[in-house]
């Protein structure tokens, strides 16, 4: 397993096949990785298990060839079936302690959190990294919780012993501000998958995020 503390979390892309148009999801994800994405999360809620496994197998191979980490959202069974690098869980998914037991110690386990209580629980039950969600309102998930805003992100990052990424409404206009709140990386969906040129969109986001990380007020990445 890649150690979470040594990974490049700067740009983390979550899939949504509805956004890629006539292009294949594998083609778009390959472009995103070439543009700088180092972590890919497979998240497709409307497919059967068989369809998910087939699609995940293809994306797993793309990530392996291009050197990106491949995670599966929620579906531990799919992750294990395709030998993914790990699983990402939301607050309504399988309990973290059970997922950790089933995954073993060698796979990555990420958890979405919105507050300090959920953060502390995820850390104590075996999470490897945390995702703060959502930072801003986002059309890709209209039923999300109340947006955290940058100040709350800054506070939560300050108390986390684990790498922290942020998701929700992040794009090239605000990625610098999110990084300066202290996160280790940003998660995006439409900003890359919905772009006419996913590779260029990923490259721009990656460069903006890296540049913001080097600014003096960015003190959260440890």
Backbone φ and ψ of 218, nearest 5°: -85, 95
Burial of 192 (0-12, 13-18, 19+ CB in 10 A): buried
43 is catalytic: yes
In the block, residue with structure tokens 């397993």? 1
| β strands within 133-202, DSSP E | 164-167, 185-188
Q: Where would I find the beta strands (DSSP E) of 104-159?
A: 108-113, 129-132
- Find the catalytic residue in 2, 18, 141, 154: 141
Please pick, among 60, 75, 112, 180, the residue that the annotation labels catalytic: 112
- Please return the burial class of 173, using the count of CB atoms within 10 Å of its CB with bins 0-12, 13-18 and 19+: exposed
Token pair in block for residue 113: 């959190």
- By annotation, the residues acting in catalysis are 43, 112, 141
């Amino acid at each position: 397993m890649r150690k979470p503390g040594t990974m490049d979390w700067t740009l983390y892309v979550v899939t949504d096949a509805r956004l890629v148009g006539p292009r294949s999801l594998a083609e778009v994800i390959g472009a995103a990785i070439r543009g700088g994405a180092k972590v890919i999360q497979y998240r497709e809620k409307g497919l059967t298990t068989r369809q998910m496994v087939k699609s995940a197998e293809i994306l797993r191979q793309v990530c392996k060839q291009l050197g990106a980490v491949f995670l599966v959202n929620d579906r531990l069974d799919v992750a294990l079936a395709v030998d993914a690098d790990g699983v990402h869980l939301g607050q309504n998914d399988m309990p973290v302690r059970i997922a950790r037991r089933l995954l073993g110690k060698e796979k990555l386990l990420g958890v979405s959190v919105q507050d300090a209580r959920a953060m502390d629980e995820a850390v104590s039950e075996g999470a490897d990294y945390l995702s703060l969600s959502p930072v801003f309102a986002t059309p890709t998930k209209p039923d999300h919780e109340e947006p955290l805003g940058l100040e709350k992100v800054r506070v939560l990052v300050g108390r986390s012993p684990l790498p922290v990424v942020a998701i929700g409404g992040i794009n090239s206009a605000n990625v610098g501000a999110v990084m300066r709140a202290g996160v280790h990386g940003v998660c995006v969906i439409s900003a890359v998958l919905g772009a006419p040129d996913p590779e260029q969109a990923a490259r721009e986001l990656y460069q903006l995020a890296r540049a913001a990380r080097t600014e003096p007020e960015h003190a959260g990445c440890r």
